[in-house]
Amino acid sequence: MGKHVISAVQAQPDMKLAGAVESADHPAIGRDAGEFHGLKPAGVLIGRYPETGESDGVVIDFSLPGGPEAAASWAQTNRWNFISGTTALSGSDQEAIRKAAGHVAVLTSSNFSLGIQLLLMFAFQAAKILPEEFDVTVIESHHKAKRDRPSGTAKSILQAVALNSPSARWTDVAALRAGNIIGEHELRLVSDYETISVSHHALTRDVFARGAVKCARWIHGRPCGLYEMKDMIER
């Protein structure tokens, strides 16, 4: 995701990339963050957080379990707002994010696609309207290197249904891993008489980076607290 976030930031005339962080053994360490990814030079070397004392900004985190803990802690210490799209968070990740939200504005999302946000809204409203005879199934597909299963987005869809559903509603989730599938999610609402199906297919990872950068713009200057992407949409 680093390449896509850097590209999205470079496309904004009023934003600049202040830092790019990777794991210590990553081959990109010490390289220009733009050039390494085949983009225009960013003037930032991969492997460091911005020096303390630089102007306030926003940390955008797409990492693996353990990464959000370090990123959120740095954001809290340096008073930068914090955005994370990392899923399968560890307990220490969740605690670090919770603590950071007491000092800076924090926005987390399992998926920064606007289309997925609309699907979540549909799931919430459909669960409210449809009787419990409608079973709920979420089918998600991703590339074979994705570690968590089911995806964070699939869990979010089921959570949206659960928030507005009778406890007796039957739910299930199926997770598929193959090839280089970026992300596909389908919500099926099935009764004995009809089926309602809504799906979303990510065509490029740029959709997640663009959404995250949009959230970074929105959260800048917000008071401390924990936000969701729907807060940006609804306001």
Smallest CA-to-CA distance from 152 within 200, 121, 110 is with 110
| Same domain for 8 and 102 | yes
CA distances from 41 to 7, 17, 37, 38, 116 (A): 11, 11, 9, 9, 32
Is the same domain home to 157 and 128? yes
Do 211 and 95 lie in one domain? The reply is yes
- The residue that leads in pLDDT, 7 or 167, is 7
Q: For residues 107 and 120, state if they share a domain.
A: no
pLDDT over 70 percentage in the chain: 98
Per-residue pLDDT of 7-52, as tens digits, reads: 999 999 999 999 999 988 899 999 999 999 999 999 999 997 777 6
More confident residue, 235 or 187: 187
> Domains in the chain: how many in total?
2
Residues 195 and 210 in one domain: no
Confidence band for 168, pLDDT divided at 50, 70 and 90: confident
From 26, 103, 146, 214, active-site residue: 146
Q: Are residues 105 and 14 in the same domain?
A: yes
CATH of the domain at 130: 3.30.360.10
Could you tell me the two tokens for 74? 């740095």
Both 9 and 88 in one domain: the answer is yes
Examine the residue annotation and report whether 26 is marked as an active-site residue of this protein. Answer: no
pLDDT one-digit tens code per residue, 208-226: 999 999 999 999 999 999 9
- As a whole number of angstroms, the distance between CA 155 and CA 170 comes to 15
The active-site residue out of 4, 142, 185, 200 is 142
Are both 40 and 88 inside the same structural domain?
yes
Domain of 100: which CATH number?
3.40.50.720
In the residue annotation, 146 being an active-site residue is answered as yes
The pLDDT tens digits for 122-164 are 999 999 999 999 999 999 999 999 988 999 999 999 999 998 8
Q: Are residues 196 and 183 in the same domain?
A: yes
> pTM of the prediction?
0.90
